[in-house]
């Protein structure tokens, strides 16, 4: 879901994919792949980057995206 006027982005995961595409991975995709493109005004590029990331996770490359997540000290 993209709401450019409200400056909000969210990936809604459909039933059956929650195990493969977790909320944590969706957040990583949003912050590392989609948001940087959106900040430059490239909405189509951000959507493409998000779709590419989702497809890479669903085809078995979730570990790469998990490594991109920042790890909290606590």
Q: Pick the residue with more confidence: 60 or 13?
A: 13
| pTM for this prediction | 0.75
The Cα-based distances of 20 to 1, 3, 11, 51, 70 in angstroms read 19, 25, 13, 15, 19
Quote the strand ranges of 10-55, DSSP E: none
Domains and CATH numbers, the chain: 2-68 (3.10.310.50)
pLDDT of residue 1: 78
Q: Is the pLDDT of residue 58 over 70?
A: yes
Chain segment 3-49, per-residue pLDDT in tens: 878 888 889 988 888 888 888 889 999 999 999 999 999 999 999 99
């Amino acid at each position: 879901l993209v709401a450019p006027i409200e400056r909000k982005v969210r990936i809604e995961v459909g039933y059956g994919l929650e195990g493969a595409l977790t909320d944590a991975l969706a957040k990583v995709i949003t912050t590392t792949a989609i948001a940087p493109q959106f900040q430059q005004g490239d909405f189509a590029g951000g959507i493409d980057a998000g779709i590419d990331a989702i497809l890479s996770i669903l085809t078995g490359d979730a570990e790469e995206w998990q490594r991109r997540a920042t790890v909290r000290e606590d």
